[in-house]
Structure formats: C-alpha cells, structure tokens
Amino acid sequence: MAGEDLQSLVDELAEQLHRSVAIDDPAVKLLAVSRHFGDEDPLRVTAVLNRSLPDELTRPLLELGISTWTEPGRVELDVPGSKARLCAPVRSAGRLLGFLWLIDDGPVHLTEHDVEMAARTAARAGVVLHRDLLVRERSRARRRSILRELVSVDEAIRAAAAEELRAEQLFGEQPMHYQVIAAHHCPVTTAEAAPDMAAEMADMAVEVAVEDGLRALPEGAGLVFAHRSRAWLLLARPQEPTTRLLHAVGQRMTARFRALSGPRTRLAVGIGAPVTDLGLVVGSYRQALLAVRAARLIPAVGAVARWGFLGPYDILLRMPSDELARAADVPALARLRAADNDQQVLMGTLEAFLDNAGDVKRTADLICVHRGTLYHRLRRIEQRTGCSLDAGDDRLMLHLGLKLRRLAAADRCQDEPSA
C-alpha cells in the first residue's frame, strides 16, 4: 500500500476488467488514466487530451450530485456520443478527493463483482490521495501562514514574511512585479436559500477558480490563499501584466467558478495595483479587497473590478459600511426624495444630469424627454434641494451623495440574508 500510486491503481483495475479507467479530482480534472480497450468515447478522449472536460460538461456532471455520493453509481449525460459510465467516489475519512470512472456501455455491462472491484480501487486511491494531500497541505499551510503575515497590520510581521519569501526564492532572484487578485463568492438573492452542500461546493470552487486563473498566464508564478468563501492570489511576473492579461485571468476565474458552482452564487474579482517589492504587497492586497467590494456592489462595474479604474468609487469605497451609511444621509437629497413621492423621477433626472456633466441635450436624450421638460425638472430640483446646479460645490455634493446612497443601499442588500 505504501508504494502505490494512482497510475498503478488505474492500470491494475483496467487490466483486471479489460476496460479503461480514469481518476479525476473533485473539480473533474484528470489525475490518472489507463490505456484504452476500445471502449473510449468523445468525452474520455477530450479529457485525456485536455486533462479536463470543458466547463459546459463539468457543470452538468456536478449537478447530478456526484460530489455527495458515498457509493458507486451510474451516470448518463445527455451529450451526443457520450456513453454511460460508472462513477465511484474517491474518499478518505469522509472527505471527497476525486472520482473513479469506468465506461459501462456495450454488449457486456459491469457485474456486481466489477463494481465492488472499482469501489475497492477507489478506496485505495483515497488513501493515496489523502497521503499526497497531507504533504501538499503541510506545504500549503506554511505558505498560507506566510501570505497571511505578508498582509498583516503589523509592519514588523510583514517585513519578516517578505524576508522569508525572499529566502525561499519561490519567485526567483530577478526583479518581479507583484500584484494581488482577490475573489469572494456571494449568494445570488433567491426565494430559496442554497443548500449547505451547494455552499460547501461554492467554497471549494473559489479556491479552484483562483488557482485556475493562474494558469491563464503564459509565464510567472503565484501563491494562493483561500479561506471558505474568499481567496486571493499573489501574482509575480518579470513584467507588469497588461490590462488584457489581467482581464483574461479574471474572466477565467469567474468562468471556472460558474462552471463548478452553478447559478446560485456569483464570484466577484478585484485586482490591486502592481508593486515592485514584497514589502509593499499589503497595499495591493487592500486595493484588491476594495475592488472586490466594487464588483459586489456596483452592477455597472461587472464581475471583475480593477483598482485605479473605478472612478469616484476608488475614493468612496475606502469608507467602511457604517460610515458609508451615515455619509449617504444628505439632507438635500432627503428633501428631494420626499418630493418625488417614491417615483424617483427627480432623483433619476438629477443623477442622469450630473453623470453627463450637466449636458442638457445628452441628458434629455438619455431619459427620453423634451429639453423643456428637463429644464422644468431641474428648476424643481433646485427648489426642493435648495442647491444651485450652476454652483460647482453644490453639484459635487449632490453627485457624491447620489453615489453614496447607491453604495449604501447595495451594501445593505449584501448584508441581508436571502429569504
């Protein structure tokens, strides 16, 4: 048992059953595969060539609930050319570590004895993967500890962590650009709360998605820190990443997360600014977390937000939630909202006018009213607020107040549990 590895296990079972055998990790990425016996289908060929299935096939597999299985079961996908297969969960101490697959389609189906052999091999594979997992987790735990200290509030702790990373030479000896990319999954508001198992799957999907984002880079290295619904990646590259490359990393993260977790949750990704010294990574880390907050709260930003490209939100998002709520209480806007009779016509008009830098024609076209109607509304807004829209300070105060109100309202919604 001590000398076993996954490859010897799949080869042994394949020769005994004269069927091809594959073992995937919990994210359905290929770990080991035997030779074929003429029983392969297009899915198996794709998995061998790409080391994984495409996202549009991974999700239906996981939605069958195979991550919760404790015994082998039969899987049939409604995919042209796909053959039925046996899925034997690979577990150790109750923890899911992967899946063992046998194609079961043809004139001779798997017998009960064959299924028992597959289950025994899956159990042996669980021991092998658990052993490897312990080794990886010890190394990962040490690096997680260093990463946690690298962004500590204590400057001395940060300096010691940076020195330890330099000593390990994980990123080589050449000068590097360091950048933090953070991710946080949050439930999509639905009438039905997500089951605990779905939440656990989403937590796992965050770490897998962030690690997968690293693979979008042609060169460079990175370290991942993950804890439940949150994860962040310390990216190190000889050259500063381009906007296009960072966007590709973020998109790959969100796509992988969506494929694994389904529609009940979404992944918000935030990108901090690059720095050239490990001792300054904490700044990029804090910026990345604020950018994540933008991706969570501001729909117009999208799922991937980059610090330094958020306009006024680069400033406003520095405020904690309680301060944000207090700052959003602008008396002039409260008076305007009261005059709106909950229809938000004047509030919407004011926001469109200010967002368009006071351009009357563009604002009128945007909200689909005649310019005369717009002028009438603007006069009413001035009367209700007591502000002059010709005065720069008044316009600034109203515009910031509107943005703060939106942020505060979104922040409250994020804090409220799903019904």
Q: 256 lies in a domain?
A: yes
Long-range own/partner contacts, residues 107-115 (CB < 8 A, 24 or more apart):
110/17, 110/19, 110/86, 114/17, 115/72, 115/86, 115/88
- The domain of 257 spans 175-318
Give the per-residue pLDDT at 261: 76
Percent share of the chain, pLDDT over 90: 38
Amino acid residing at 95: R
What number of CA atoms fall less than 13 Å from residue 371's CA on the CB side? 5
Other CB atoms within 10 A of residue 263 CB: 10
Q: Is the dihedral of CA 359, 365, 366, 367 positive or negative?
A: positive
Assign residue 274 the CATH number of its domain.
Answer: 3.30.70.270
User: What does the alpha-carbon distance between residue 410 and residue 400 come to, in Å, rounded to a whole number?
Assistant: 15
pLDDT of 278 above 80? yes
Residue 234 token pair: 């310390």
What is the rounded CA–CA span in Å between residue 403 and residue 383? 21
Same domain as 65, residue 47: yes
Of residues 186, 193, 266, the one with CA closest to residue 418: 193
Q: Has residue 65 been placed in a domain?
A: yes
Cα→Cα distances 93→184, 198, 250, 311, 327, Å: 28, 20, 34, 50, 51
DSSP state letter for 205: H
* Phi (first) and psi of residue 87, to 5 degrees: -115, 115
Q: Three-class SS of residue 54? A: coil
In a domain, 141, yes or no: no
Better pLDDT: 345 or 3: 345
* Residues counted in the chain: 419
- Domain contains 14: yes
Asked whether the predicted pLDDT for residue 341 surpasses 90, the reply is no
Q: Are residues 264 and 339 in the same domain?
A: no
Report the CATH number at residue 335. Answer: 1.10.10.2840
Q: For residues 202 and 200, give the distance between their C-alpha atoms in angstroms, rounded to a whole number.
A: 5
Same domain, 356 and 224: no
Predicted local distance difference test score (pLDDT) of residue 220 = 59
3-state secondary structure of 332: helix
Residue 59: per-residue pLDDT: 80
Same domain, 314 and 338: no
CA dist 383 and 235 (Å) reads: 53
pLDDT digits (tens, 9 = 90+) for 39-59: 888 888 888 887 777 777 788
Dihedral (C-alpha) 132, 134, 137, 141: value to the nearest 10 degrees?
-150
Biggest CA pair distance of the chain = 86
How large a percentage of the chain has pLDDT more than 70?
91
- The Cα 279–Cα 155 span in angstroms is 9
Mean pLDDT of the chain, nearest integer:
85
Query: Would you say residue 202 lies in a domain?
Result: yes
Total of domains in the chain: 3
Query: What is the rounded distance in angstroms from the CA atom of residue 326 to the CA atom of residue 306?
Result: 26
Residue 124 sits in the same domain as residue 253:
no
Model pLDDT for residues 42-101, shown as the tens digit of each residue = 888 888 887 777 777 788 888 889 999 999 999 988 877 788 899 999 999 888 999 999
**Residues 381-408: tens digit of each pLDDT:** 999 999 999 999 999 999 999 888 888 8
Instruction: Answer with the one of 264, 293, 318 that is the final residue of a domain.
Output: 318
C-alpha count within 13 angstroms, C-beta hemisphere, residue 142: 8
